[in-house]
Structure 1
């Protein structure tokens, strides 16, 4: 069934099912197989001294390092040990929660797939902003100036269910008049697409495997020149501007989304433990000065994905629901 953007979306799941791309049969084992570093049970509702937090998909070592201050904060303020797990893709998150192998997650697709499964702590805030951006980039000398120029070209996306690295970009290309075909579950018509992760998407442009790529601002802004002219909405809400021009290779942005609510942090509703509320209070009451106390010695502050949480609801993620519906993506059981 399609997601109803005006009401709670209970009953839908986190697997794309428009053409049977993923099936329910693989959910229980898929959760284990798709979580990096998994060895047996990830977390246990019988032993709440250890809490498993499923991070957003990415390179395990890099992703875990980014969230280390958040882990240290929880462990420093609550009598609990936090185990971080990095899934290979977004479709592995909900099965881990449903099977009670994890307690905390932080992606909007899983939240939207079945709000009844999760209780929301809030939306992450970094640098004073609870918003981020989807962006499209190309080589500086490319003749791609606007979205319609992608016709007949190759486009690199992040994970198929990534909000900024796939869903928002596909919708934007469709709105520009391009035929996106069955993407992200199948192939586009007017251009060639490939799906991987945010870092690989940029690498493909850098090494000539793709003409353009889409990623989130925190990943793309370091790769654009310092003198890049930015839209007002980006300069107002982006928290990545202090990283501009700090990474190579350099790319040229040609499209930016409007501000998207950053990732939510949520816990599974079946987690019956006082630790759930204790952790929520710590995250909601954190601030920059407190989180700084939990930086590892070698931590790069530019990577920080969290300082506190903003109290939010499903309504804040309506733009994501709208785009999933428009692209015909059913998050089915």
Structure 2
């Protein structure tokens, strides 16, 4: 597992907080405890509670609507239950920060999240990067700034003075890389994504689906999102939209474990997913090529080193290391 490391060089005080919907459980490690007599002599050793509360808690980041993600991850839930012999629950987080707050407190054991959030989570001691996901023939993916076909936006410079919809502030493809593209194009990004500053544009932050919906409803002039949310069932750009700019080569999103777990517990979860059968990726209906398939089809062991490109961009934008603090 990846231990806490220092890899972002700046420090600050701005943070975002969130809550995990329905997430419960106790924090702390899983070491043995003893009881004692009045004289202080140990009389018994209690059996530690596995995974902090006797069940496996798997958290989903809000990259797609909750109902759909619950269907997608239903086989993951069932598979982890079978492998650990314990009940497993799925939790849907309000935002990426909520995922990592739950992981750091021990109320969540494993989570799927974004590269940027995971990297900050490692730095803050709230997560260990364990696995990288594979999809559509690659271990990498793309971020885009997209607008409607026929708009008056043909370059990023045309977004000066306009409103752009972004995904979560801790999203790599939905905030970090779109802001990096805007900065590279010569626009002042101000204090984004941490706080509003003297940017050359206005911004909203929500989720990938919400930001793209804002564009569809003409609430924003463009959206900075993961390319995946802009595609139809044939993996082609949806009708009525065009890309203004694309950034490719982002390492695909990781799966993380809680540092509150023992090494053995973390290894059990990681090995289970690493060796999972194809059926785990097929969603609740168990059929391939349907809406509830997981977007990824394989995983491999990973640590923070795979996500150095994300860290480099965060440093370029001056992201502060306390971004996750509540």
After TM superposition, the score normalised by the length of structure 2 is 0.79
Per-residue deviation at 1:303?
4.7
Rg larger for? 2
**Gaps in structure 2 of 5+ consecutive residues:** 31-48
> Partner residue of 2:315?
325
> Partner residue of 2:231?
221
Match of 2:116 among 105, 109, 113: 109
Partner Cα separation in structure 2 for residue 63 and residue 43 of structure 1? 26
Partner Cα separation in structure 1 for residue 318 and residue 178 of structure 2? 15
> Partner residue of 2:70?
64
Match of 1:136 among 132, 138, 145: 145
> Partner residue of 1:313?
303
Q: Report the structure, 1 or 2, having the larger helix content.
A: 1
Runs of 4+ more than 4 Å apart: 42-45
In the alignment, is the contact (CA less than 8 A) between 1:52 and 1:101 conserved in 2? Answer: yes
> Partner residue of 2:191?
182
Deviations 1:89-146 (A, max 9, x none): 1122222122111111232334322255544321011244222111111111112122
Does residue 21 in structure 1 map to residue 14 in structure 2?
Answer: yes
In the alignment, is the contact (CA less than 8 A) between 1:130 and 1:310 conserved in 2? Answer: no
Partner Cα separation in structure 1 for residue 25 and residue 311 of structure 2? 32
> Does the residue aligned with 2:248 lie in a helix, a strand or coil?
coil
In the alignment, is the contact (CA less than 8 A) between 1:43 and 1:50 conserved in 2? Answer: no
> Partner residue of 1:35?
20
Match of 2:94 among 84, 88, 91: 88
Does residue 244 in structure 1 map to residue 268 in structure 2?
Answer: no
Per-residue deviation at 1:63?
2.5
Relative to structure 1, the CA distance from residue 152 to residue 110 in structure 2 (aligned partners, 3 Å threshold; closer, same or farther) is closer
In the alignment, is the contact (CA less than 8 A) between 1:9 and 1:112 conserved in 2? Answer: no
Partner Cα separation in structure 1 for residue 230 and residue 286 of structure 2? 23
> Partner residue of 2:44?
none
Does residue 196 in structure 1 map to residue 189 in structure 2?
Answer: no
**Gaps in structure 1 of 5+ consecutive residues:** 1-6, 24-29, 223-240
Relative to structure 1, the CA distance from residue 282 to residue 8 in structure 2 (aligned partners, 3 Å threshold; closer, same or farther) is closer
Relative to structure 1, the CA distance from residue 205 to residue 187 in structure 2 (aligned partners, 3 Å threshold; closer, same or farther) is farther
> Partner residue of 1:257?
247
Q: Tell me the matched-pair count.
A: 293
Per-residue deviation at 1:202?
1.0
